[in-house]
Amino acid sequence: MKVETIDITLHVVSLERTMEWYKKILGWKSGCDLKNDQGECLFGDVYYSHNPLIGFNLLKANQPLKPLGFHPLLKVDNLESLIPHFRNNGVEITQEIQVQPWGKNLKILDLNGFELEFWSEI
């Protein structure tokens, strides 16, 4: 078996608000692939601006479905630079930077309550 990609789908109440949050907070791009008759996005994605293969699918849900014990881990080049940006934009930081044997990490919540973990090498 050859695995070419692994897609992660976030079940969210508002794709539009989620897309705007990822654009404002992380600088990511987004797209809507399916809309209903009222023009509301039902399925789309948010992704890292420089690589559309790094991101999440979004699926319209009546209430957010949060996977227990699972959160994305994003490797970044300058972890410390994220903190002022997150704080200035009211992002909830659930774990300040901690030094681990494998590097440094920081955790936040997106507007839907999904935990995102950022890490960098020491």
Question: What is the DSSP track for 33-76?
Answer: EEE-TTS-EEEEEEE-TT-TTSEEEEEE-SS-BPPTT---EEE-
- pLDDT of 18 > 80? The answer is yes
Decide which of 1 and 69 is more confident: 1
Domains of the chain and CATH, by start: 1-65 (3.30.1900.10), 72-122 (3.10.180.10)
How many C-alpha atoms does 2 have within 13 Å on its Cβ side?
Answer: 1
* 112 DSSP assignment: T
CB–CB of 76/119 below 8 Å? yes
How far is the C-alpha of 85 from the C-alpha of 82, rounded, in Å? Answer: 5
CB–CB of 16/58 below 8 Å? no
pTM over 0.95: no
- pLDDT of 27 > 90? The answer is yes
pLDDT at 16: 95
Q: Average pLDDT of 104-113?
A: 94
